Amino acid sequence: MHSDPSDGPDGIRYRKKVPYSFGDTVTAGRWTLDTSTLKSYPADW
């Protein structure tokens, strides 16, 4: 997950990259996201 967008020499870029596995709860700023609620891509996609 990428978070903390800010201005840079090439425009707005994300400053923070947080690796996660499906099912983890990830924190971004004051928010938390339970990744088990995210939809996954179909196997044949």
pLDDT tens digits, one per residue of 1-45: 777 788 988 899 888 787 888 899 988 778 898 989 988 888 887
Residue 3 forms beta bridges with which residues?
Answer: 16
Predicted TM-score (pTM) of the model is: 0.50
Residue 15, H or E segment = strand 11-17
How do residues 31-40 score in pLDDT, each as one tens digit? 898 989 988 8
C-beta of residue 6 within 8 angstroms of C-beta of residue 16: no
CA dist 18 and 44 (Å) reads: 27
Rounded Cα distance between 37 and 30, Å, is 18
- Tell me how far apart the alpha carbons of residues 1 and 11 are, in angstroms, rounded to a whole number: 19
